[in-house]
Structure 1
Amino acid sequence: MNIDITIVSKQSEPWFEAPASVYIITNEQIKRSGVKSIPEALRLAPNLSVAQVNSSQWAISARGFNNVLANKLLVMIDGRSVYTPLYDGVFWDVNDVLLEDIDRIEVISGPGGNLWGANAVNGIINITTKNSKETKGLFVEAGAGNERRGLGSLRYGDQLNNNIYYRLYGKAFDNGSTVLTNGSDANDAWAMSQGGFRLDWDQNENNLFNLQSDYYNGV
């Protein structure tokens, strides 16, 4: 794969030249796997421990010590940390993006605190999304199933001028309850809706700016 990554040294470099053990989940892998959320996509990385606790909660870590409150794994979206200051961990149920907009997910299982800080004790995950100029046009997705009883996504992107691009999106889903080992209903069904926008200004090859905002509501 001819892919440049930034997770190892905070600068773009070919993944096969990076001085670390890095696993990359590409957008093509995500599409082929049929997953519908970021935690499900992370199951594609063999160097991560991913467990679903209930309908909305996930326990994700690297190198053991895995539980819902795990706080030794640094998680970033486009290079920005998404940990909660409540316990230095990640609320996986609300940190969601349109899977179609993900360019790649870079995963390191191993310490990276000297470069990324205290949270990067057992590993680092960096979810890189596509530039708005790569998502021009209309995208619509809908589906239904036994566990995810209904889902829908809508995204539209366009160009404002020669070097400014944008996209708007909205998505919603309704998750059914999980089933306990004795076959009974766990009564943990939940639903969430989310929307937002992203604006990219590619001033030149070395100066790229983006502005984005998201809103979510879950019950």
Structure 2
Amino acid sequence: MSNKNIVWHDHHVTKEERSQIKAQKPCILWFTGLSGSGKSTIANAVESKLLELNKHTYLLDGDNIRMGLNKGLGFSDEDRIENIRRIGEVSKLFVDSGTIVLTAFISPFQKERDAVRGLVQEDEFIEVFIDTSLEVCESRDPKGLYQKARNGEIPDFTGISSPYEAPTKPEIHILNDQISIEDVTTQIIDYLKDKGYLLA
């Protein structure tokens, strides 16, 4: 519900000025994929490499966000949608600060990912699809979640009892089965360099 008494305040310092002193073009690197696909591992590796390049970043991870900002949200479709909406708004603020923000969320619904894309400029949202098969994700099962889902202990589990809508046109598509973390990281960093996100 909108409130007529709330007015957006423009800042004296612009996004362009914040970006210029950081020698980078801000964006959202939106990592999406099934649980166990490697999203968080890859996002962490990419952020570490960006730090080596003296870039300003922040990583938003699904579990960490649910411990604070989104504490109290469950895993129903409605709560998943609200979870992503809030993350999108936070990511938009990071972009306005001139930061490269990385997000690692299953974010199973294309409509919600597109909604986040619509919050920022066209070239400020980079969808990174960590394409790992359900079989591989389930064989990894680092948190034992797939086994619990198979046993009926976790309702609405993506890939088992709840759908995952794979991106149809991601900016970066990683077939994450027989590829090293180093090679994946290089592929993503090269994309950022080639597209002009990393300046100087």
TM range (shorter): under 0.3
Normalising by the residue count of structure 2, what TM-score does the alignment of the two structures yield?
Answer: 0.25
Tell me which protein shows more helix as a share of its residues: 2
Which structure's relative contact order is higher, taking Cα pairs within 8 Å and 6+ residues apart?
2
